[in-house]
Structure 1
């Protein structure tokens, strides 16, 4: 009887452990990036997001002024991603660009006056 109880506990532990690892979920979001102007902006944002923990894929469409980002929800969230884009120097939905970073952008990447 003790062996059967021990076996049940072990199997339950293994099944629980397997489900605990399955919590990694991918989420894809579209963020409005109205200040992107050109291919250089696209490369800048995509390169920066590739270094961001949890981000698996990003694509900037500068013609539609949208950035699509796929990320693991257990490693980051949409607010962190918006902040990362703002830290590069671009507006992201309701998060304004970091002024210091914006000033360092090439002239072609700045908003038309």
Structure 2
């Protein structure tokens, strides 16, 4: 009888775990982050996203890629753990504008000049090598 009860409990546990895994399907989203045009901005955002946790204390962000030429961020996340709006808010809290939302003022002030909005003098510095090149390729 004990073996039967144990087997039944084990079976139910495996089914519950399997159901949770099956419902957590990662999704991709492409976000427009116009300030992501240089390696310094990319590194800042990478570090921030690595530390970011979702509303449940779990990081639902799986991976991301940055296209510095277009200023876009392609991000894979698990919607059961974190929402796209939460990710956008996190990017705003890092000091960057994303899609139609703007960065928080305090975080934006902490960005280096090169990562500021182009309208406010940020971006490529005249006379300097292109900032979208990796640091070891700028000469």
Aligned residues, how many? Answer: 108
Instruction: Assess if the C-alpha contact under 8 Å between 1:50 and 1:58 holds in 2.
Output: no
Q: Aligned partners of 1:35 and 1:20: how far apart in 2?
A: 37
Could you tell me which residue of structure 2 aligns to residue 92 of structure 1? 98
Shift in Å at residue 95 of structure 1?
Answer: 1.4
Higher strand share: 1
Shift in Å at residue 15 of structure 1?
Answer: 7.0
Instruction: Assess if the C-alpha contact under 8 Å between 1:46 and 1:60 holds in 2.
Output: no
Q: Aligned partners of 2:83 and 2:45: how far apart in 1?
A: 17
Unaligned runs of 5+ in 1: none
Q: CA RMSD in A?
A: 2.2
Could you tell me which residue of structure 2 aligns to residue 79 of structure 1? 85
TM-score, structure 1 as length reference = 0.81
Unaligned runs of 5+ in 2: 53-58, 121-139
Residues 3-18 of structure 1 correspond to what in structure 2 (within 5 A)? 10=8, 13=12, 16-17=15-16, 18=18
Could you tell me which residue of structure 2 aligns to residue 23 of structure 1? 23
Instruction: Assess if the C-alpha contact under 8 Å between 1:89 and 1:98 holds in 2.
Output: yes
Could you tell me which residue of structure 1 aligns to residue 32 of structure 2? 32
Shift in Å at residue 21 of structure 1?
Answer: 3.3
TM-score, structure 2 as length reference = 0.67
Say yes or no: does 1:108 pair with 2:114: yes
Shift in Å at residue 72 of structure 1?
Answer: 1.3
